[in-house]
Amino acid sequence: MLLFSDKKSDFLIPDYQRPYAWEEGQCQTLWDDIFSFAFPDNNSDKFDSNEEYFLGSIVTFENDNNKKEVIDGQQRLTTLMLLLRAFYAKFGNMQDENSKSTRERIAQCLWKTNEFGQPNLNILKIDSEVATDNDKDEFLEILKTGIVNKDQKSNYAKNYRFFQEKIDNFLSEYPSYFAYLPARILGNCILLPIEAESQDTALRIFSTLNDRGLPLSDADIFKAQFYKHYSTKNQKDKFIEQWKELEEITGRIFKPLNGTPMDELFTRYMYFIRAKQGIKSSTTEALRKFYEKGKYSILKQDDTLSNLKILVDFWHDVYNQNQERFSTKILRKLFILNSAPNGMWTYFLSVYFLQNKNENNQLEENKLDEFLNKTIAFVWAFAFTNPGVNALRTPIYAEMVNIVTDKTVNFDEHKFDEHTLRTAMNNFEFKNGRPITRSMLTWWAFKDDQQEIPFLNTNFDIEHIFARKRQENDKSLSNTKLLEALGNKSLLEDKINIRASDYRFSDKIKYYKGFTTDKGQHKAGSIISELVNIADNKTDFTEQDIISRSEKIVSEFIEFLKEKKLIKEY
């Protein structure tokens, strides 16, 4: 382990890193791998001194204080330090030359040495500043003293005790070979040092190399900047408490496709700041690039952290359908928006909320209702005429700037031609895999003020009212494309859809309405009131029903856009 024994080694686990997370399972794997290498087939004599075992890489860069700031390999580096410290402690009372020599070599890995190679037992070769790790001092104390108390419950303490136990067992089983294991770890186990010229380069290398653990997120970097910004211990402690709360809430409510939940919060806030800066460009900078401007000046503003908390509380109430914050009317629109064909509405609503919230962080209901209606109408219609989230950026970004300058959201430059939109909708293939299909069906089902609003995590499938299996059997549709028409589809709870999917309409009726089995067990029907109404009033669902229902949905959607003044007037 030349990386450890190098006199210049001075490792720093920086404040933006995550807390130490390895548990006994990872330590067991590490021990088993090293032992199998050093004692092949449990036989010391089978060891080939020319062989080397690769433990992985350590990606660092030299910071302004001449310390090797660890970007990748923190968990492995920390664990190996604990392992070596456990060996060092065990060698304390051994007087044979091999043991003494090995102990001296371990000491050179753990502590800084003078020009004669003698360790200074007061200066470790590793330090930790991890902002959210309350146990980092415990780690450093274990390395200094080699002592761990029974009441210490951190991962550092648990893993140190694990290695102590493994070493005791090894000494008991192989007493005459005891010094060989740490000697072979030091001499033949390789940690590959990769020292980058800057933090950015190190992070890029990490992203390229790392295919297992979680890479450092943008939010980890932001956390460090916040932490450095606060000067007193009380400020730092309060920040850590606030940060942990943000992580806990975002972890529960945000499920981003890319990045971490905290990254998602910073992204939603970024659009508000972006709008305040008057940026309408459809090209969006990477999250860290946006915030690092002016040496992270946005993060150092007094209201940034409090705004992030206000924003995450708002979204917590959205996703938990908080009836104390939102009326049924608003919750209905938010439920519909959760089926949007893309996630742009979340950024749009974040900007609206932060700009229009009152001193109690509430929004005026009627104005919010109008904003949500207009957002639904525009985003849904735009998905037909300009599919893809990239195209949506141009009108949405412009309206974000209007929001923060207290102008009315009207999409004046992007209103729809009625004939073009109607034609696009009539010619659209509403396949189940297309996001706008679910979006339209959700709008259609839940625009009704009397429709019950379920929990957001209720699972709905897309039901073919005229079943595909039925068409295969009786070929009663003259135009098979009508199977995938909007008028032949509805949301239906997944458990009911499984039972009803392949039946004729006359058999589907009982599943839509609910029924009691011969054994007296009640099977609940659908909450989708339109499906229940269809089941109450029809004995069959025919080709003409599909055509009529498709026309009705499209026409009412066009009327919805007219009502919101989103259709061009000539």
User: Is 136 contained in some domain?
Assistant: yes
pLDDT of residue 211: 45
Instruction: Choose one of 188, 209, 230: the last residue of a domain.
Output: 209
Confidence label for 195 from pLDDT (cuts 50, 70 and 90): confident
pLDDT bucket at 402, cuts 50 / 70 / 90 = very high
Contacts of residues 72-76 at CB distance under 8 Å and 24 or more positions apart, as own/partner, are 72/194, 72/202, 72/205, 72/206, 72/209, 72/210, 73/191, 74/13, 74/17, 74/18, 74/20, 75/20, 75/21, 75/22, 75/26, 75/213, 76/30, 76/191
Q: Are residues 347 and 251 in the same domain?
A: yes
332 shares its domain with 439: no
Mean pLDDT to the nearest integer, 364-369: 97
Query: What radius of gyration, in Å, describes the C-alpha atoms of the chain?
Result: 32
Identify the domain boundary among 156, 188, 209: 209
Q: Is the pLDDT of residue 212 over 50?
A: no
Torsions phi, psi for 463 (to 5 deg): -90, 135
Indicate the pairing of strand 126-128 with strand 11-13. Answer: parallel
Both 179 and 291 in one domain: the answer is no
> What are 169's two structure tokens?
């067992």
The answer to the question of residue 112 being in a domain is yes
Same domain as 304, residue 246:
yes
Would residue 342 count as lying in a domain? yes
Q: What percentage of residues in the chain have a pLDDT greater than 70? A: 95
pLDDT in tens, 103-127: 888 998 899 887 777 888 889 989 9
Strands 53-62 and 189-196: parallel
* Count of the separate structural domains present in the chain: 3
pLDDT over 80 (residue 498): no
Please say if the pLDDT value at position 319 is more than 90.
yes
**Domain match, 404 and 449 both:** no
Separation between Cα atoms, residue 42 and residue 21, nearest integer Å: 30
Q: CB of 466 within 8 A of CB of 490?
A: no
- Domain containing 494 equals 435-563
215 contact partners, CB below 8 Å, separation of at least 6: 203, 206, 207
In-domain check, residue 476: yes
Are 149 and 16 part of one and the same domain?
yes
Q: What is the pLDDT of residue 229?
A: 86
Q: What is the pLDDT of residue 207?
A: 54
Higher pLDDT, 427 or 217: 427
| Cα-based torsion angle of the residue sequence 475, 481, 483, 485 in order, rounded to the nearest 10 degrees | -150
pTM more than 0.85: no
* pLDDT of the residue at 174: 87
Whether residue 513 lies inside any domain: the answer is yes
Q: Are 88 and 172 found together in one domain? A: yes
Two structure tokens written together for 544:
């003409």
Residue identified by tokens 């938010």 is 334
Instruction: Mark whether 188 and 225 lie in a shared domain.
Output: no
Q: Is residue 422 part of a domain?
A: no
> Are 112 and 125 in contact, with CB atoms under 8 Å apart?
yes
- 190 and 230 in a single domain? The answer is no
Q: For Cα atoms 458, 460, 466, give the angle at the middle one, nearest 5 degrees.
A: 155
Please report, for residues 262, 329, 383, 470, the alpha-carbon distance to residue 392 in angstroms, rounded to integers and kept in the order given: 24, 26, 8, 39
Domain shared by 45 and 182, yes or no: yes
What CA–CA distance (Å, rounded) separates 536 from 538?
6
Per the model's pLDDT, the better-predicted residue between 57 and 337 turns out to be 337
Which of 382, 414, 446 is the last residue before a domain boundary? Answer: 414
Q: Is residue 430 part of a domain?
A: no
Checking if the pLDDT of 251 tops 60, the result is yes
Q: Is residue 358 part of a domain?
A: yes
Task: Examine the domain organization and report whether 86 and 190 are in the same domain.
Answer: yes
Q: Same domain, yes or no, for 383 and 441?
A: no
Answer whether 167's CB lies under 8 Å from 90's CB.
yes
